[in-house]
Amino acid sequence: MTKRILILGGTEDARALAELLNEETNCEVITSLAGRTSQPAEQAGTVRVGGFGGADPLEGYLRENEVDLLIDATHPYAAQISANAARASAGADVPCFRLERPAWAALDADNWIHVKTAEEAAAALPTGARALVTVGTGGLAPFLERLDIHVTARVIERPAEPPMPPHKIMVARPPFALEDELLLMRTEHITHLVSKNSGGKKMAPKIAAARELAIPVVMLDRPKLPEIETARNLNHALAIMGRLLA
């Protein structure tokens, strides 16, 4: 019998998983997007857009749509939807696992300043710093409030309000090549990189560029998420799926 799978998405991994399941299995795949991005990348299978209204309505969605498996493939910093997913799957008695890339780790020579919030990250920048800030549009406010530093904020979605000089916004969508990251950091005379630890098998070019230029990285550490079974890559996800749907 065809199994119905709900993927909570918004990440490259969620897109890749939907494509793989669509091509390689006879599962019916629905990907759920929050609707933050005005032009989301193309996606295999069915797509639904917008919040559910909390954990209880998500539980209702799982029941009403007879979902057989829930996969939380949201970004590691999307803590609310992950908490809702864990609660809703338990409530609806639908198996659930997370697909999450392993975090990047600093090498000995790296200078990473670990922080927990965007506020702490902004406070960690010294007066006069020229920071490349790559934490998404939502986390920019504490950086843009600092008028004693110079922020270049790279975002996918332009914020509603333009920032006050000397700050500037760069709208760009990954992936970025190492040479381009090096060029950007050199031409903007970047002294600090601010990043989330999005993770992945390969270190992101921005982190590699900061390493090459000996630029300190203010790293927002990952929030704590519910303890559920976690796949580290697509093959691992397929193996877990096979077991949960058997």
88 touching ligand NAP, by CB under 6 A: no
91 touching ligand NAP, by CB under 6 A: no
CA–CA separation, 17 vs 11, rounded Å? 10
Distance (Å) of CA 1 to CA 26, 30, 70: 9, 17, 17
In the complex, least distance from residue 50 CB atom to ligand NAP, rounded to whole angstroms: 6
114 touching ligand NAP, by CB under 6 A: no
E strands present in the chain: 4-8, 28-33, 46-49, 69-72, 96-99, 112-115, 130-134, 150-155, 168-171, 192-196, 217-220, 230-231
Q: Which one, 59 or 181, has the nearer CB to ligand NAP?
A: 59
Q: Which one, 82 or 191, has the nearer CB to ligand NAP?
A: 82
206 touching ligand NAP, by CB under 6 A: no
Q: Which two tokens stand for residue 200?
A: 């992945």
Q: Which one, 73 or 191, has the nearer CB to ligand NAP?
A: 73
In the complex, least distance from residue 96 CB atom to ligand NAP, rounded to whole angstroms: 13
Q: Which one, 37 or 126, has the nearer CB to ligand NAP?
A: 37
CA–CA separation, 10 vs 74, rounded Å? 6
Which residues pair with residue 31 across a beta bridge?
Answer: 7, 47
| Contact track, ligand NAP, 166-205, x by CB under 6 A | ------------------------------x---------
How many angstroms separate the first and last alpha carbons of the chain? Answer: 11
Q: Which one, 9 or 199, has the nearer CB to ligand NAP?
A: 9
Alpha-carbon Rg for the chain, nearest whole angstrom, is: 19
- DSSP per-residue string spanning 175-188: ---HHHHHHHHHHT
52 touching ligand NAP, by CB under 6 A: yes
Residues 117-146 that bind ligand NAP (CB under 6 A): 136
Residue ranges that bind ligand NAP, judged by CB under 6 A = 8-11, 32-34, 36, 51-54, 58, 74-75, 77-81, 84, 136, 196
